[in-house]
A and B are shown apart, each in its own frame.
Chain A
Amino acid sequence: MEKIRRNKWRDLLEKVIEKALLVSAVAAILVVLLISAFIFAQGWPVIQKYGLGHFLFNMEWKPLADPVRFGILPMIIGSFMVTLGAIILGVPLGVGCAVFLAEFAPRRVNKVVRPGIELLAGIPSVVYGFWGLVVIVPFIQQNLGGRGMSVLAASIVLAIMILPTVINISEDSIRAVPREYKEGSFALGATHWQTIKKVILPAARSGIITAIVLGMGRAIGETMAVILVAGNATVVPGSILDMVRTLTAHIAIEMGYAAGEHQQALFATGVVLFVVIMILNSMVLLIPRRAGDE
């Protein structure tokens, strides 16, 4: 008798917990749906009124002029330039660090480097931005010319910010390469570097690509750090030493005081950003999970 009652209790508890977990899962999805619905609902009227082309292919952003111009092309180009720069600077560094940690680093070195990387991930982005503004920006201004606030400054700050993502995911995928591959390569007389270049990196390719795509997502989405170092002029940068404004920075900078159509146009910018990030995320799904899966 006693035993049966206890089981009943247990079953009930199981059910309650199961339902509670289901609610959490549904809540997460619901939040995503609500946010997208809200952004689209807010941004749609102004897109409809002026036409999508007005936003996407117009070089001028004059939300308070008469007539208003809501061209976000400079911001779209800016976002891509800054992100590309961050990838070019950050990925070789990150993958190099991942190879070192997975293949060469003695345990003692690993014990120092790993918490260091985790710490890097934990620094708030505004701190990166502030550091960029007082260190990177004057450095660029004094040594390379221009105003300092530039595509380059933003790319450097972002490259550092995406390092933890790139390093962690790359290292995991390098460690996941089966031992037999490496042993087979050594058995054939290949050196360590030859093995890394010809066997390990190709085998870990999909993981490394995932790392790059997630790093790109981080770079495109980053706002606060970029605002402080990019200069934020609404013009298309002619060189990497020119000022730039990214899509996220654009929304964050003007949202504070925007009203009416100006505000809706910023939501429309959010719609564009949303679509870009969705495309990026679906790219991750297309990457085969492991070498040999394709």
Chain B
Amino acid sequence: MLKRKFSAVLVLVLALAMAVVLVGCGGEKAAEEGAKKSGDELTGNITIAGSTSVQPLSEELAQKFMEKHPGVTIHVQGGGSSAGVKAALEGAADIGAASRNLKESEQGKGLVEHKIAIDGIAIVTNAENTGVDDLTVEQVRKIFAGEITNWKELGGDDAKINVVSREEGSGTRGAFTELVMEYKDENGEKHEAELVADAAIQSSNGAVRTTVANDKYSIGYLSLGYLDDSVRAFKIEGVEATAENIVAGEYKISRPFLYLTKGEPEGAVKEYIDWVFSSEAQDIVAEDYVRVDK
């Protein structure tokens, strides 16, 4: 009998607990909204538009910033680097995002550049494959396009080159395609070399690194932050893949992530961009890119 009563009580308590939790949730939300209106002095809307490569980083940064300042709403849109430059010039967006340096035609129109991060890509092979040390961007392209298929052709061992790439749509692959696979022929026409069909595809920087670390004659590419002793990075045209060389602009397979504003930023936009250079925000940057602490 005692048992029966006990279970009846248990059911009641559970039901009550659920009710309290449900009501509690609603209450909290209302409280939060209240804080939005009064607690924080910083308010405003910021629109960031442009490079789809910068987009994931912008979204992550924006989310963190909005958590800190509930009064600010940041909209992050894509469109491409050129669209980002245009949007900033025309004032369609508060911040234009670009994953390349400004072209000559875009300079001198009053755009202020804020280099928020640098995207660098290391070309790596197995630590034991020491025959080749230095590659040109063209050689890298030919390897990944399947035109160079044996390490012998580069002065290494007589062994097939095993190419490892990333999946379609990955940001690292996008950057690699843009910086290495795209080229201009003698007439200045733009082409994009196609990835060799028997390239292994791995879905993360870590998986590419492990694959390369376990296959002596493989070659792959990694975001710079993922380099470690298990793989060996090639020098590209004589320059080692290090954060210093990338910041100095010496290392070729890299690109800047720019925030562009029409004139010096003000108000919430200024607060946001200043915060992006804080060590808190640069820690987020450093997860995938080269940090640029001021």
Contacts and interface: CB of A to CB of B under 8 A. Distances in A.
A233 B170 contact: no
Contacts of A243: 198, 200
Interface stretch (B27-35, B101-109, B161-169): B161-169
A149 B169 contact: no
A130 B202 CA distance: 13
A232 B170 contact: no
A134 interface: yes
A10 B7 CA distance: 10
Interface of B: 1, 4, 7-8, 11, 162, 167-171, 197-203, 207, 210-211, 214-215
B197 A252 contact: no
A16 interface: yes
Interface centre among A13, A138, A231, A234, by most chain B C-beta atoms within 10 angstroms, is A231
Top 5 A-B pairs ranked by shortest CB distance? A257-B169, A232-B201, A231-B200, A253-B203, A253-B167
A138 B7 CA distance: 58
Given A13-B11, A252-B203, A256-B203, A64 B211 contact: no
A133 interface: yes
A147 interface: yes
B211 A254 contact: no
A134 B169 contact: no
A254 B168 contact: yes
B222 to A, nearest CB: 16
A56 interface: no
Nearest to A12: B8
A232 B200 contact: yes
A232 B214 CA distance: 16
B65 to A, nearest CB: 23
B228 to A, nearest CB: 15
A230 B203 CA distance: 12
B252 to A, nearest CB: 24
Contact of A233 (B4, B169, B201, B215): B201
19 contacts: A10-B4, A13-B7, A61-B168, A62-B168, A130-B210, A133-B210, A134-B214, A137-B214, A147-B215, A148-B215, A149-B200, A228-B207, A231-B200, A233-B198, A233-B199, A256-B170, A256-B203, A258-B168, A258-B169
Nearest to B174: A257
Contacts of A147: 162, 200, 215
A63 B162 contact: no
Contacts of B1: 6
Contact of B168 (A16, A64, A134): A64
Contact of A134 (B171, B203, B210): B210
B214 A138 contact: yes
Nearest to A229: B211
Contacts of B8: 9, 13
